[in-house]
């Protein structure tokens, strides 16, 4: 889950042949068996599948909440939201910047994840500073697993705050796996660990509740990405909106420091 994924991924896992336009259901089936798509650049006409030999995951009870990050959250300097600017976050993640001239997010991927967002399988966390979008992340949920796709920061600590919000939300929502795909120093500093493909597949199988067949009908009922925004009872109605208002830093810290 990092803007440098394309550069990192090229040497970390096998890839398959080029494929036709991405179908959202195909994308979900791919994630259910441990592979994900990448493109060579934003203008690439096709994508390829990647299955890393080693996988970065962030244990939800292992997030490293440093004193400085806790202070930043409690200061309410940043405002964080969920699913309020999904398209803008994907665009921001795909932007070329000085230290990352190319992106792995092409039109096929952006279109597919937008359709998954409409279907309730793709979500974003946004970080705002003085009303301006300065960072965030997006990913895909399937069963009790969340696959972090990309993370972006245009202000100091913006992506850390977004990841803290995500981990808090996943904990409250009953998720069991946060897949970060490739390890980076940034993710490692926040608690991510690297595990073997076999170990990852065991975690994935437990999280999605299936056999790896890729059939969505065989998946577990799934965790609730919305649960963080509602009190323990009564449960939110099916008609509840999936667009969420600002979340306080105190609420995030409380969720991160609560132990069961």
| CA–CA gap between residue 86 and residue 13 (Å, rounded) | 28
Cβ neighbours of residue 176 closer than 8 Å, sequence gap 6 or more: 60, 144, 145, 203, 206, 207, 223
Residue 11 lies in a domain: yes
Mean of the per-residue pLDDT values for the chain?
A: 86
Which CATH number does the domain housing residue 167 bear? 3.40.630.70
Provide the β-strand partners of residue 97. 100
**How much is the pTM?**
0.85
Structure confidence at residue 258 (pLDDT): 81
198-225 pLDDT per residue, tens = 999 999 999 998 534 344 434 445 799 9
Strands (DSSP E) found in 85-166: 122-129, 132-142, 145-153
The helix-helix angle for 158-173 and 249-257 (nearest 10°) equals: 60
Residue 232 lies in a domain: no
Q: How many CB atoms lie within 10 A of CB 16?
A: 10
**What range defines the domain where residue 155 resides?**
5-210+243-257
Map residue 188 onto helix, strand or coil.
helix
Structure confidence at residue 54 (pLDDT): 97
Residue 13 lies in a domain: yes
What is the number of structural domains in the chain?
Answer: 1
Tell me how far CA of residue 97 lies from CA of 100, 162, 193, in angstroms. Answer: 5, 20, 27
Which residue, among 258, 260, 259, 253, has the nearest Cα to 65 in the 3D structure?
253
Lookup: tokens for 128: 């705002």
Residue 136 lies in a domain: yes
Residue 48 lies in a domain: yes
Structure confidence at residue 72 (pLDDT): 98
Residue 216 lies in a domain: no
38-88 pLDDT per residue, tens = 999 999 999 999 999 999 999 999 999 999 999 999 999 999 999 999 999
Residue 230 lies in a domain: no
């Amino acid at each position: 889950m990092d803007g440098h994924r394309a550069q990192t991924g090229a040497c970390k896992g096998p890839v398959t042949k080029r494929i036709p336009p991405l179908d959202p259901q195909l994308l979900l089936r791919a994630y259910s068996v441990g592979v994900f798509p990448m493109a060579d650049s934003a203008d690439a006409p096709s994508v390829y599948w990647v299955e890393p030999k080693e996988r970065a995951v962030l244990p939800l009870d292992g997030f490293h909440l440093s004193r400085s990050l806790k202070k930043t959250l409690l200061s309410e300097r940043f405002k964080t939201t969920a699913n309020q600017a999904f398209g803008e976050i994907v665009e921001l993640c795909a932007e070329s910047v000085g230290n990352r001239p190319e992106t792995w997010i092409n039109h096929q991927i952006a279109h597919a994840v937008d359709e998954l967002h409409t279907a309730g399988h793709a979500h974003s966390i946004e970080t705002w500073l003085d009303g301006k979008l300065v960072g965030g992340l997006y990913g895909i949920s399937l069963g009790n697993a969340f696959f972090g796709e990309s993370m972006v920061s245009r202000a100091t600590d913006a992506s850390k705050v977004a990841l803290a919000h995500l981990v808090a939300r996943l904990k409250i929502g009953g998720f069991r796996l946060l897949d970060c795909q490739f390890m980076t120093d940034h993710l490692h500093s926040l608690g991510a660990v690297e595990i073997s493909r076999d170990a990852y597949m065991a975690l994935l199988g437990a999280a999605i509740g299936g056999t790896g067949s890729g059939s969505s009908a065989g998946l577990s009922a799934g965790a609730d990405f919305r649960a963080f925004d509602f009190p323990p009872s009564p449960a939110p109605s099916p008609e509840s909106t999936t667009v969420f208002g600002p979340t306080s830093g105190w609420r995030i810290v409380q969720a991160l420091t609560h132990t069961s």
